[in-house]
Amino acid sequence: MNEKIERLKQLVRESDNIVFFGGAGVSTESGIPDFRSVDGLYHQQWKYPPETILSHSFFARDPEEYYRFHRAKLVIEGVKPNRAHLRLAELEREGKLKAVITQNIDGLHQAAGSKHVLELHGSILRAYCSKCRKPFPADVINYGQGVPRCDCGGVIRPDIVLYEEPLDEDILHQAISYIRRADVLIIGGTSLNVYPAAGLINYYRGNKLVLVNLSETPYDSYADLVIHEKIGEVFDQI
């Protein structure tokens, strides 16, 4: 085990107030592509740029095309939590990890057994009517054809934060509160490109900021420990 992972193992061993903040890189080892890596979603050819399709105005303008993209690219059959998800759930059970704050919408942290999960960008496992806000089972949007509609006539949409939409204030405040009080903040599998999520890092007040990410991020120089390795492999060793 290299000295950086040894150091992370020691930080985890010595703390009972760890907070994890993650992104799409946590789920790539479960078979879900991330967004900005070379083979990520934003580099795949589609009728429109994926960042355009995943926006409020596009969803309103062309829900048919949105749902073609959603069912083809966001819904991936048979994905399971990987070693990173499982270890985080174990650290929570051990009373060491206080919360997982995720930008992911795949529900894999909960599937791994994590109870305190803050989904900054929502989840494709929940849906609601955009007009009357009646909740719907996710299968209504994730499978089938065409644009799903509520009996009130409204378009049923996924409970995810599209571009141009605000994050849930309450979730954001909870995330800030956990990060403010964290002893150890572990950030993993995120390029820290998207705000306000990426800005959460600025609320951390401790001196044990760990970054576990395959590629460099704009915050590497702020971290107390940077590990550029696969997060599943790293978490398997701590």
* Contact criterion met (CB below 8 Å) for 229 and 188: no
The token pair that represents 121 in the structure block? 């960008």
Where does this chain touch ligand APR (CB under 6 A) — which range of 35-43, 85-93, 130-138, 146-154? 35-43
Q: What angle (nearest 5°) sits at the alpha carbon of residue 59, between those of residues 120 and 57?
A: 90
Q: Among 70, 85, 109, 121, which one carries the catalytic annotation?
A: 121
Q: Is 63 in the site for ligand APR (CB under 6 A)?
A: no
Known active-site residue 228: no
Give the one residue of 5, 25, 92, 209 binding ligand APR; rule: CB under 6 A: 25
Distances (CA, A) of 144 to 67, 118, 126, 141: 10, 29, 16, 7
Q: Is 186 in the site for ligand APR (CB under 6 A)?
A: no
In 152-201, alpha helices (H): 169-181
Strand partners, 188: 22, 212
Q: Which CB sits closer to ligand APR, 74 or 129?
A: 74
Q: Which CB sits closer to ligand APR, 84 or 150?
A: 84
Amino acid at the residue 150: C
Query: x/- binding map, residues 70-109, to ligand APR, per CB under 6 A?
Result: ---------------------------------x------
Interface of this chain with ligand APR, residues 129 to 158, rule: CB under 6 A = none
The token pair that represents 27 in the structure block? 């789920």
Rounded distance between C-alpha atoms, residue 97 and residue 22, angstroms: 14
**Given the structure tokens 């083979």, which residue do they identify?**
39
Give the one residue of 4, 40, 171, 206 binding ligand APR; rule: CB under 6 A: 40
Q: How crowded is the C-beta side of 34, counted as CA atoms within 13 Å?
A: 21
Where does this chain touch ligand APR (CB under 6 A) — which range of 2-10, 62-70, 146-154, 189-197? 189-197
Strand partners, 118: 101
Compute the radius of gyration of the chain from its Cα atoms. Answer: 18
Q: Which CB sits closer to ligand APR, 8 or 150?
A: 8
Binding region for ligand APR (CB under 6 A): 23-25, 28-29, 34-37, 40, 103, 121, 189-191, 193-194, 213-215, 230-232
Residues taking part in catalysis: 121
